[in-house]
Amino acid sequence: MPEGDTIHKLAAALRPVLEGTALCRVATRAARGDPLREHGAMTAEGVQARGKHLLLDLEAADGRPWQLRSHLGMYGTWHQYAPGSAWHKPASAAWAVLTLPDRVLVCFHPRELQWCPRTAGARDVPRLDARVGPDLLDPALDLDAVVARVGARADPGRPILDVLLDQSLAAGIGNIYKSEVLFLQGCHPLRPAGEVTEAMLAGLYREAERLLRRNVKPGPRITRERAEEEAFLYVYGRRGEPCHRCGAPIEFARLGEHLRSTYWCPSCQAGNP
């Protein structure tokens, strides 16, 4: 599943292409197996990232505002093609097609895709606020408020790895950052949230914000302060390899509510409950 920085990078790449541009055609698919529904020509007004959701604001020829929301999940992607060129995936896998004068943008296999009217003054899809907590890449982020929100809402018995991945508490942390920030704070992934001190909780989200902001730029995702060539991460993807700090073999298991791939150092993150 894409991390929050991935969606912000995508939004940054699409803004100069889309914002203020007249689209020749917009088509979306409502459900798997349904045909693409044509919405006609439109003008793209804005592109924004909200956690792991990409929001495209559009205006129809009759002046009606619309919004296209995509959540890529594990397998979704946006592709760009020259007009008339062959797609790398079958047309049946396309859930949104935006045709510009000089290119075609196609969204394949999203976890979610929603096409809906955008009410006057609202720049968000209905109920998104209830699903998505504060975006850790929001320039106006109040990190103290985020930590207070998580502390007040998280189930004390819930493993901290699941709390970090809960986008309704704070948006942007994915599977890679989950493992990396837990390592940086010396916190075992299965530690119950109620046993995580307020200082450590603040440290986890502070590290997540720092790493997300650091990686909203071209190039590989890097979490180590002094990364070596092709060794950019502390623990993620390094099962059995020596810890960069203590040398102990990195452990791996599928943990948590959704059995997500998790990596940790048994020495630096001691305290398996």
158 φψ region: left (φ > 0), alpha (ψ -120 to 50), beta (else)? beta
CB contact burial 69-85 (16+ within 10 A = b; e otherwise):
bbbbeeebebeeeeeee
| Nearest Cα residue to 174 out of 271, 51, 90 | 51
Record the tokens describing residue 271, joined without a space: 């305290």
pLDDT tens across the length of the chain (273 residues): 567 788 888 998 999 999 999 999 999 998 888 999 999 999 999 998 888 889 999 999 999 999 999 998 878 899 999 999 999 999 999 999 999 999 999 999 998 999 988 774 445 544 565 678 898 988 889 999 999 999 999 999 999 999 999 999 998 899 999 999 999 999 999 999 999 999 999 999 999 999 999 888 877 888 888 766 678 899 999 999 999 999 999 999 999 999 999 999 999 998 755
Provide the pLDDT for residue 155: 95
Domain 4-129 has CATH 3.40.630.10: no
Record the tokens describing residue 73, joined without a space: 């999940």
Q: Are 159 and 259 in contact (CB under 8 A)?
A: no
- The yes-or-no answer to whether 4-129 and 143-264 have a common fold is no
| pTM for this predicted structure | 0.76
Q: Report helix, strand or coil for 18.
A: helix
Give dist(CA 66, CA 138) in Å, integer: 23
Domain boundaries, the chain: 4-129, 143-264
Give catalytic residues, as residue numbers: 2-3, 52
Domain 143-264 has CATH 1.10.8.50: yes
